[in-house]
């Protein structure tokens, strides 16, 4: 009771009773989710639904404080409900151990909430919830953290940018020539060891590795051909796996012969430091007395001979493992392979030592195994404090949303900074060219067992809505109809995978004054014989697309690079191109270049610029209920 009294005093009676009665949804019960659920329960939100598809892992326990050792392998959402329920017995929590993309969580279900909180770790689920909240016209508080960086964004249909208004960049890939011929940073050598050398020896093929960009231009085509030959020669060496001379063969191939070949291309080294090949015999001598246990020292930077010893030893360990798998494999099955896993010590030792040996050759700084683990595993450690701050800011923004004070709501950024840790900017209006939110949207009642695509295209879109000839119809699965693709017209909705709660997008492709995209959400409705099989229950107006010049103002949300995991992508950082900003904006915005590695153990994104928005007017965020 006491807590309730204080919450009432600080929030005011009206907001307090509003949040007590409202139903809210929290998607994701991980790092941010645990903090958020605790905040929601303690501030007096009365009805909370949680959705999480995962179970608890040992590695979650250091920051996801609603979970204890005895909960490992149990459902995150159910345990979160149990633990947070104890903080406030008056709160009604419902837990769903499920994927938020499951069909049971349809638009009507989303519509039953006053507000939705995203506490997710991947782009796909975030985009889905964004789309559902727009369709249901429910406000969404989107949040994300990476290391010391965090972001909170308020999204409301028609009033603010949506999650997809800013394009998200996909994880970084590296040109194959940088990795294979001209590395200049530790990450290049790590990607080489992990995505090229490791896979060529123990895995399938380099062509499978997503971190290598094989796009050929006329200048590099010849070199790429040479690199292919080089890889083929390595494949041949693979045949001697298990033999005594195997480590020496691999070593001499990749650290001597391949380097000698590169050296012979004089032009390549005219303006670069030329690589220096390593000698097997010389290193063998130098490494006398170094034992393989040095691999356990993961915080120190190993010497060349220590890397040499770990390289040979881990190569033997992995070869033995693969040989054993092969011996036990069933004939007829695909041959067994090994894959890199940062938590698999043999694979990590190999990648760390091989990357460092290559770094010596190219005069690049070497790294400790600990650092290499972070970089190769694309990990930026989660920081509990950032999650806690971000979750707190989510709730403060939610209060503004619940009071319908969108003018006071803000987009908030957290960053590791001596200057200002929290900065903010006002919410931006929806981007007119956004393919997700700047669309006309309506519900369509359809008898999907009877309606055909022709009913939709000819009778509904052309006759009823007045579309011309140039438009396309698609679903998540791809394009179903356009003027050149009319094979599907006789097919029923059910035959092309459209059912209740599916979305259909209609894109007007007329040159002259086209309509904005139309998103139709399908409501399944049996319709009696003789009646129209497709019905529009509410009146619909489809605005025309804004003229082309607005397209240039498209902002550019950016994800962390360096192939870092999804959780940090997801738009926690925003980068705007200079030309997008007015002069005044440019002055207000603060640019922080994060150098790779940096003084901390955290490998920062490699070569991108984070633009932090600095709220020049107010100077700071007032953490109160203004």
Ligand X SMILES: Nc1ncnc2c1ncn2[C@@H]1O[C@H](COP(=O)(O)OP(=O)(O)OP(=O)(O)O)[C@@H](O)[C@H]1O
**Residues belonging to the active site:** 177
Q: Give the three-class secondary structure for 1.
A: coil
91 lines the binding site for ligand X (CB under 6 A): no
176 lines the binding site for Zn ion (CB under 5 A): no
434 lines the binding site for Zn ion (CB under 5 A): yes
With CB under 6 A as the contact rule, which of the stretches 116-124, 130-138, 255-263, 405-413 interacts with ligand X? 116-124
Binder to ligand X among 39, 43, 60, 305 (CB under 6 A)? Answer: 60
415 lines the binding site for ligand X (CB under 6 A): no
Contact present, 389 and 63 (Cβ < 8 Å): no
534 lines the binding site for Zn ion (CB under 5 A): no
Binder to ligand X among 7, 30, 409, 545 (CB under 6 A)? Answer: 30
Total residues at the site for ligand X (CB under 6 A)?
A: 22
Binder to ligand X among 24, 25, 26, 29 (CB under 6 A)? Answer: 29
132 lines the binding site for Zn ion (CB under 5 A): no
76 lines the binding site for ligand X (CB under 6 A): yes
Q: Is 122 annotated as a binding residue?
A: yes
- How distant is the alpha carbon of residue 21 from its chain centre? 34
Q: Which does 162 bind (CB under 5 to 8 A by kind): ligand X, Zn ion, none?
A: Zn ion
DSSP 112: T
Q: Is 99 or 556 the residue whose CB approaches ligand X more closely? A: 99
Task: Using alpha carbons, list the distances in angstroms from residue 121 to 124, 341, 582.
Answer: 9, 20, 33
Q: Is 46 or 139 the residue whose CB approaches Zn ion more closely? A: 139
Contact present, 490 and 454 (Cβ < 8 Å): yes
Q: Is 31 or 597 the residue whose CB approaches ligand X more closely? A: 31
Q: Is 434 annotated as a binding residue?
A: yes
Q: Give the three-class secondary structure for 48.
A: strand
427 lines the binding site for Zn ion (CB under 5 A): no
With CB under 6 A as the contact rule, which of the stretches 93-101, 302-310, 389-397, 448-456 interacts with ligand X? 93-101
Q: Is 29 or 212 the residue whose CB approaches ligand X more closely? A: 29
The set of residues, in sequence order, having a beta carbon less than 8 Å from that of 345 and lying 6+ positions away, is: 295
**How many whole angstroms separate alpha carbon 493 and alpha carbon 121?**
33
Q: Give 149's strand partners.
A: 146
Q: Is 182 or 556 the residue whose CB approaches Zn ion more closely? A: 556
DSSP 238: G
Pairing of strands 149-155, 174-175: unpaired
Q: Using CB atoms within 10 A of its CB, is residue 614 exposed (0-12), middle (13-18) or buried (19+)?
A: middle
Whole-number minimum distance, CB 152 to ligand X, in Å? 15
Query: Cβ of 45: how many Cβ atoms within 10 Å?
Result: 29
Q: Which does 437 bind (CB under 5 to 8 A by kind): Zn ion, ligand X, none?
A: Zn ion
**How many whole angstroms separate alpha carbon 599 and alpha carbon 288?**
33
Q: Which does 52 bind (CB under 5 to 8 A by kind): ligand X, Zn ion, none?
A: ligand X
> In terms of C-beta distances under 8 Å and separation of at least 24 residues, what long-range contacts does 480-489 make, across chains too?
480/453, 480/504, 481/453, 481/457, 482/509, 488/453, 489/452, 489/453, 489/454, 489/457, 489/458
Sign of CA dihedral 129, 130, 134, 139: positive
Contact present, 342 and 373 (Cβ < 8 Å): yes
Q: Is 63 annotated as a binding residue?
A: yes
Report the site for Zn ion in 150-169 (rule: CB under 5 A): 162, 164-165
272 lines the binding site for ligand X (CB under 6 A): no
351 lines the binding site for Zn ion (CB under 5 A): no
The set of residues, in sequence order, having a beta carbon less than 8 Å from that of 474 and lying 6+ positions away, is: 480, 504, 505, 507
**How many whole angstroms separate alpha carbon 209 and alpha carbon 431?**
35
Q: Is 134 or 310 the residue whose CB approaches Zn ion more closely? A: 134
Q: Counting every residue, how long is the chain? A: 626
Whole-number minimum distance, CB 10 to Zn ion, in Å? 34
Q: Is 60 or 359 the residue whose CB approaches ligand X more closely? A: 60
Exposure on the CB side of residue 430, measured as CA atoms within 13 A = 17
With CB under 5 A as the contact rule, which of the stretches 114-122, 426-434, 439-447, 550-558 interacts with Zn ion? 426-434
**How many whole angstroms separate alpha carbon 593 and alpha carbon 415?**
12
300 lines the binding site for ligand X (CB under 6 A): no
With CB under 6 A as the contact rule, which of the stretches 118-126, 282-290, 474-482, 538-546 interacts with ligand X? 118-126
With CB under 5 A as the contact rule, which of the stretches 109-117, 173-181, 414-422, 436-444 interacts with Zn ion? 436-444
- How distant is the alpha carbon of residue 284 from its chain centre? 44
**How many whole angstroms separate alpha carbon 15 and alpha carbon 112?**
19
Task: Using alpha carbons, list the distances in angstroms from residue 511 to 332, 440, 479, 547.
Answer: 56, 19, 20, 11
186 lines the binding site for ligand X (CB under 6 A): no
Q: Is 356 or 386 the residue whose CB approaches ligand X more closely? A: 386
Give me the residues that bind ligand X (CB under 6 A), please.
27-31, 33, 51-54, 59-60, 76, 99-101, 120-122, 125, 382, 567
Q: Which residue ranges are tagged as binding site?
A: 28-33, 52, 60-63, 76, 121-126, 162, 165, 434, 437
Q: Which residue ranges are tagged as binding site for Zn(2+)?
A: 162, 165, 434, 437
Give me the residues that bind Zn ion (CB under 5 A), please.
162, 164-165, 434, 436-437
């Amino acid at each position: 009771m006491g807590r309730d009294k204080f919450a009432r005093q600080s929030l005011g009676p009206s907001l307090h009773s509003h949040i007590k009665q409202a139903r809210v949804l929290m998607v994701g019960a991980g790092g941010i989710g645990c903090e958020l659920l605790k905040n929601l329960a303690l501030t007096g939100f009365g009805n909370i639904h949680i959705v999480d598809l995962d179970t608890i892992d040992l590695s979650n326990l250091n920051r996801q404080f609603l979970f204890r050792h005895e909960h490992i392998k149990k459902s995150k959402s159910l345990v979160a409900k149990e633990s947070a329920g104890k903080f406030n017995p008056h709160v009604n929590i419902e837990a769903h151990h499920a994927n938020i993309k499951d069909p049971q969580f349809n638009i009507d279900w989303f519509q039953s909430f006053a507000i939705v909180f995203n506490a997710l770790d991947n782009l796909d689920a975030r985009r889905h919830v964004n789309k559902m909240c727009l369709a249901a016209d429910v406000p969404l508080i989107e949040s994300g953290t990476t290391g010391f960086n965090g972001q909170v964004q308020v999204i409301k249909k028609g009033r603010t940018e949506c999650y997809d208004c800013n394009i998200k960049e996909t994880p970084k890939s590296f040109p194959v020539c940088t990795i294979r011929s001209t590395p200049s940073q530790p990450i290049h050598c790590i990607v080489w060891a992990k995505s090229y050398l490791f896979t060529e020896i123990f895995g399938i093929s380099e062509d499978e590795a997503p971190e290598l960009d094989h796009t050929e231009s006329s200048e590099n085509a010849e070199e790429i051909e040479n690199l292919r030959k080089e890889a083929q020669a390595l494949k041949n060496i693979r045949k001697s796996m298990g033999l005594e001379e195997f480590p020496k063969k691999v070593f001499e191939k990749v650290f001597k012969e391949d380097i000698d070949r590169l050296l012979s291309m004089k032009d390549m080294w005219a303006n670069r430091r030329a690589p220096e090949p390593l000698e097997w015999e010389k290193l063998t001598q130098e490494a006398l007395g170094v034992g393989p246990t040095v691999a356990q020292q993961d915080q120190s930077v190993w010497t060349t001979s220590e890397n040499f010893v770990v390289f040979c030893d881990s190569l033997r360990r992995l070869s033995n493992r693969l040989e054993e798998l092969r011996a036990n494999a069933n004939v007829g099955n695909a041959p067994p392979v090994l894959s890199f896993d940062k938590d698999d010590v043999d694979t990590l030792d190999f990648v760390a030592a091989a990357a460092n040996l290559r770094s010596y050759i190219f005069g690049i700084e070497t790294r400790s195994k600990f650092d290499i683990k972070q970089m190769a595993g694309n990990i930026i450690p989660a920081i509990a404090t950032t999650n806690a701050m971000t979750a707190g800011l989510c709730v403060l923004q939610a209060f503004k949303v619940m009071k319908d004070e969108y003018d006071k709501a803000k987009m908030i950024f957290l960053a590791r900074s001596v200057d200002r840790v929290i900065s903010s900017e006002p919410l931006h209006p929806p981007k007119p060219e956004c393919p997700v939110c700047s669309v006309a949207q309506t519900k369509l009642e359809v008898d999907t067992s009877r309606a055909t695509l022709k009913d939709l295209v000819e009778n509904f879109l052309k006759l009823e809505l007045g579309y011309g000839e140039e438009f396309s119809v698609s679903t998540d699965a791809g394009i179903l109809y356009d003027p050149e693709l009319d094979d599907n017209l006789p097919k029923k909705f059910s035959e092309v995978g459209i059912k209740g709660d599916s979305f259909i997008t209609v894109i007007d492709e007329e040159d002259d004054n086209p309509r904005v995209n139309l998103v139709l959400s399908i409501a399944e409705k049996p319709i009696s014989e003789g009646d129209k099989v497709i019905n529009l229950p509410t009146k619909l107006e489809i605005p025309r697309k804004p003229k082309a010049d607005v397209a240039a103002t498209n902002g550019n949300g950016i994800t962390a690079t360096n192939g870092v995991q999804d959780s940090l992508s997801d738009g926690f950082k925003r980068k705007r191109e200079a030309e997008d900003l007015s002069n005044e904006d440019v002055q207000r915005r603060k640019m922080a270049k994060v150098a790779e590695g940096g003084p901390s153990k955290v490998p920062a994104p490699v070569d991108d610029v984070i633009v932090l928005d600095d709220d020049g007017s107010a100077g700071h965020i007032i953490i109160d209920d203004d």
